[in-house]
Amino acid sequence: MTDGILPAVLGRFEWQSLPFVRAWEHPNASEIVGAGAGAVVIIGAILVAALITRLGKWRYLWSEWFTSVDHKKIGIMYIVLAFVMLSRALIEGVLMRMQQATAVNSPGFIAPDHFAQLFSTHGTIMIFFMAMPFLTGLINYVMPLQIGSRDVAFPVLNSVSLWLTAAAAALVMASLVVGRFSTGGWSGYPPYTELAFSPGVGTDYWIWAVTLGSVGSTLTGINFAVTIYKMRCAGMRLMRMPLFVWTALCTSILMIFAMPPLTVATALLALDRYLDFHFFTNDLGGNMMNYANLFWLFGHPEVYILILPAFGVFSEVVSTFSSKQLYGYTSLVIATAVITVLSFTVWVHHFFTMGQAADINAAFGIATMAIGVPTGVKIYDWIWTMFLGRVRFTVPMLFSLAFMMTFVLGGFTGILLAFPPLDYLAHNTLFLVAHFHNMLIPGLLYGMLAGYHYWFPKAFGFRLDEKWGRISFGCWVLGFYLAFMPLYVLGASGMARRTQAVFEPSFRPWLYVAGIGALLLAGALASLFVQLWVSVRDRKANRVFAGDPWDGRGLEWSISAPPPEYNFAVLPQVNSRHPFHDGKRQDDPYAPPRAYEDITLPRNSMTGPAIGILAAAAAFGLVWHMWWLAIIGALAISAVVIARSFARDVEHTISADEVQRTEQRWLRAAANAAPIPRELEMTSANQGLAEVSA
């Protein structure tokens, strides 16, 4: 009887699924590293829970954050998630570099199977659970403020997207504690990921994590696009939108059209694995080439989903810190739109080596090079924005400059790879690994960090510490060059990617340099955390409550920092591309409105966290073949959605009096603040009020 009940309850679980048991049975370095990582997750979770309990903050977190549908809070939670996942994936990157540096004609300290999990989780996390949450969080926070709106179009859906993403990330974290993760890389190519070759739970963790994440992102894309189309304030014509909003719009369109192929690809793979279908198997007519096409039909637009918002950040940052209007606004909008369209026409360049005809490869190679044109235009637009300006080397500006110079090198090698014959040599080697890190570290991470430093004062009301920001910046840049330039050399020498051991002694010096670079990158992340700590500690000295620490140009700077829940006491009306910049020069932007009115906002909802928790449970059940859990989870999600549709009391009102009190407190502070010239913006003299000149 117990024979039947235990498997029915626990599915595929057995004691060896726990890394601690594996490390006990086979105490080698690789298993101990795995058990250590699992322990970090468990101890970390316990410590966080204990801390929250001790501070008595559970209720606060639940009612003020987890159930919040405020786009600002959701944005911040996305970015917190991104930093947590960045920490894990970066450590994995360092471990891989250490392994390769120590594995020249020696086994190193990480076993091949464990190494394969490292590169699979590293890639999956960095793309789906670091980059995507980071940019989604940034857009969530900033875009509604920039278009003069009080929230996104579908606030509860926004919360559902967040919690689906968090559920997916939690699934990846769970794989550290229970079972193993996929060894099939972030792209999960079958037939390797089919049951015949990967029978364990790893691939299923990957499938459900990516599926939940992709559904969350599709919903986010729809939400953002509708928000931008329908919720701009009066006078905010399309061609008056800040560039960041344009890139957010293009990214949303890409999400809507590019995420579904991924969802389909992982769903078909799941059908193969769970229900004995044969879409991509070796036998019974399956064909993995269909998977490659579906995956990259998502995968290439995805690259631009990641990079476009960063382009938007750089457009804002370069213009603000050059005290100048953006050069070539129309050009930048056209370039963004061209990139959006072209990004759907190049996916075959991810598998030039699949044996298709030269005509096809050449056509896709040319399309790939064509994307270089609008991208180059953008870089020059930023250069000409600095031209005849007054450039201040703040941390976001430093990231922008480092991006421009580094990204060009990545573009250089990108054009090399666009040549199919050169790709035949560089594909699947470290040259390719170096190339896409060369695009994504400056093109995504630097952009997100620039945005983080730029808008942090807006979100929290105090500036981030400059010194630690610069230390971190230095480590990110130097670390990048040391970690990835050697990989170009190794790739050009024929070293394959994803290799756990190396048999060529002449590769050793390059691997050492790359290892040092990886450690520097870890230092860069650590510096960011130190910066956050120092900034929170010194927050009183660096307050910018008046709301405009950088002499900003867009609507987001025209309100207090942090902004009130309702964003704008009176919805703004704009008549130029830089309404706040012009407003400061034409009349008093801090004059109280004629009258205040009641403001109605959506009420908190537990729909999002409930769906997230249930989705994680259902996915966990699917991974472990605990069918009861999967079924209960799926039914419960339907129940939550139905229950939500009966909810009537979904709005709350902030009275005009309260709005007036909040606004007056801010306006008094602004009136008492000393306006500062740009020379002092990095000092404590900066209270968020800009001295207006010219």
Partner 1 sequence: MMLAPRLLRLLAALPLLALGGCAALEHGVMNHAGPIAASHWHLYVIVGVVLVAVAGPVLLLTPLIAWHYRLSNKRHAFRPKWDFSWTLEGLIWIPPIGIVIGLSVLLWDYTHMLDPYRPIASGQAPLEVQAVGLDWKWLFIYPDEHIATINRLTIPAGRPVHLRLTSGTVMQSLLIPRLAGQIYAMTGMVSQLNLAASHPGVFLGENTQFNGKGFQDQKFNVVALPPADYPKWVGQARASGHPFDADDFAGLFHKSSPSQPVVFSSAPPHLFRQIIVRSQETGS
Please give the residues from 420 up to 439 whose contact with partner 1 meets the rule CB under 8 A: 420-425, 427-429
Residue located via tokens 């995968």:
299
Cβ at position 498, least distance to partner 1 in Å = 4
Taking the CA atoms of residue 501, residue 503, residue 507 and residue 513 in that order, the dihedral angle to the nearest 10 degrees is: 30
- Tell which residue, 651, 648, 565, has the closest CA to residue 600: 651
Please say whether the beta carbons of 263 and 218 come within 8 A.
yes
Pattern of binders to partner 1 over 526-555, x per CB under 8 A? ------------------------------
Q: Which is nearer to partner 1, 4 or 355 (CB)?
A: 355
The helix (run of H) or strand (run of E) holding residue 600 is: strand 599-602
The verdict on 185 binding partner 1 (CB under 8 A) reads yes
Q: Which helix (H) or strand (E) holds 214?
A: helix 202-230
Query: Which one, 330 or 586, has the nearer CB to partner 1?
Result: 330
Using CB under 8 A as the binding rule, whether residue 393 contacts partner 1 is answered as yes
The nearer residue to partner 1, 113 or 565, going by C-beta atoms, is: 113
Q: Which range of residues in 152-160, 469-477, 486-494, 586-594 is near partner 1 by CB under 8 A?
A: 486-494
User: Which of 264, 408, 632, 656: binder of partner 1 (CB under 8 A)?
Assistant: 408
Least separation, in Å, of the C-beta of 318 and partner 1?
Answer: 9
Instruction: Map residues 579-618 to x or -, x wherever contact with partner 1 holds by CB under 8 A.
Output: ----------------------------------------
Does residue 92 touch partner 1 according to CB under 8 A? no
Query: What phi, psi does 234 have (nearest 5°)?
Result: -60, 135
Question: What CA–CA distance (Å, rounded) separates 246 from 238?
Answer: 8
Please report how close the Cβ of residue 36 comes to partner 1 at its closest, in angstroms: 21
* Smallest separation, CB 578 to partner 1 (Å): 10
338 counts as binding partner 1 under rule CB under 8 A: no
Cβ atoms of 188 and 272 within 8 Å: the answer is no
Is residue 383 a contact point for partner 1 (CB under 8 A)? yes
- Decide whether 87 or 499 has the Cβ nearer to partner 1: 499
Does 380 bind partner 1 (CB under 8 A)? Our answer is yes
Q: How far is the CB of 290 from partner 1 (least distance, A)?
A: 12
Of 497, 307, 482, 516, which Cα lies nearest the Cα of 407? 307
Selected from 275, 388, 591, 642, the binder of partner 1 by CB under 8 A is: 388
Choose which of 83, 104, 678, 691 interacts with partner 1 (CB under 8 A). 678
Q: Applying CB under 8 A, does 501 fall inside the site for partner 1?
A: yes
Find out whether 484 and 441 touch, Cβ atoms under 8 Å: yes
Choosing from 183, 214, 336, 340, the residue that interacts with partner 1 (CB under 8 A) is: 183
Q: What sections of 548-601 are H helices per DSSP?
A: 579-586
Among 2, 106, 506, 645, binds partner 1 (CB under 8 A): 506
Task: State which residue, 314 or 596, has the beta carbon closest to partner 1.
Answer: 314
Is 197 one of the binding residues for partner 1 (CB under 8 A)? yes
Choice between 67 and 320, CB closer to partner 1: 320
Q: Which stretch binds partner 1 (CB under 8 A): 172-180, 304-312, 380-388, 554-562?
A: 380-388
Check residue 411 for interaction with partner 1 (CB under 8 A).
yes
* # binding residues, partner 1 (CB under 8 A): 101
Identify which range of 390-398, 560-568, 625-633, 646-654 contacts partner 1 by CB under 8 A.
Answer: 390-398
CB of 372 to partner 1, least distance (A): 6
Cα separation, 29 vs 32, whole angstroms: 5
Cα-based torsion angle of the residue sequence 259, 336, 485, 129 in order, rounded to the nearest 10 degrees: -30
Q: Are 128 and 209 in contact (CB under 8 A)?
A: yes
For 260, counting Cβ atoms within 10 Å of its Cβ (0-12 exposed, 13-18 middle, 19+ buried), the class is middle
SS3 286: coil
Least gap, CB of 29 to partner 1 (angstroms)? 16
The DSSP result for 608-671, as a single string, is: HHHHHHHHHHHHHHHHHT-HHHHHHHHHHHHHHHHHHHH----EEEE-HHHHHHHHHHHHHHHH
Under the criterion CB under 8 A, does residue 121 sit at the interface with partner 1?
no
| Contact flag: residue 199 with partner 1 (CB under 8 A) | no
Could you say whether residue 288 binds partner 1 (CB under 8 A)?
Answer: yes
* Tokens 């300006």 found at: 389
Q: Do 477 and 406 form a contact (C-beta atoms < 8 A)?
A: yes
Min dist CB 67 to partner 1, Å, is 42
Min separation Cβ 337 and partner 1, Å: 14
Segment (H or E) for 278: none
The answer to whether residue 98 forms part of the interface with partner 1 (CB under 8 A) is no
492 interacts with partner 1 by CB under 8 A? yes
Query: If residue 183 lies in a helix (H) or strand (E), which one and from where to where?
Result: none
Q: For residue 539, how far is the Cα from the chain centroid?
A: 26
- What does the DSSP assignment read for 87-144? HHHHHHHHHHHHHHHH-BTS--SS-HHHHHHHHHHHHHIIIIIIIHHHHHHHHHHHHH
CB neighbour list of residue 479: distance below 8 Å, 6 or more residues apart: 517, 518, 519, 520, 521, 523, 524
In the block, tokens 């801390």 appear at 51
Check residue 412 for interaction with partner 1 (CB under 8 A).
yes
Q: Is 325 in the site for partner 1 (CB under 8 A)?
A: yes
Shortest Cβ 690–partner 1 spacing (Å) = 13
Q: Site residues for partner 1, window 509-528 (CB under 8 A)?
A: 509-510
Contact 305, 274 (CB under 8 A): no
Residues within window 360-379 making contact with partner 1, judged by CB under 8 A: 361-362, 365-366, 369-370, 372-373, 376-377, 379
Q: Which is nearer to partner 1, 284 or 642 (CB)?
A: 284
**HSE toward the beta carbon, residue 31, CA cutoff 13 A:** 14
Is 490 a binding residue for partner 1 by CB under 8 A? The answer is yes
The one segment of 249-257, 297-305, 320-328, 469-477 that binds partner 1 by CB under 8 A: 320-328
- Strands (DSSP E) found in 120-252: none
212: which 2 tokens? 């939940």
Residue among 503 and 533 whose Cβ is closer to partner 1: 503
- Residue 324's region, left for phi above 0, alpha for psi from -120 to 50, else beta, is beta
Nearer to partner 1, 1 or 694 (CB): 694
Nearest-approach distance from CB 296 to partner 1, in angstroms: 14
Q: Which two tokens stand for residue 40?
A: 């970090």
Closer to partner 1 by Cβ: residue 363 or 656: 363
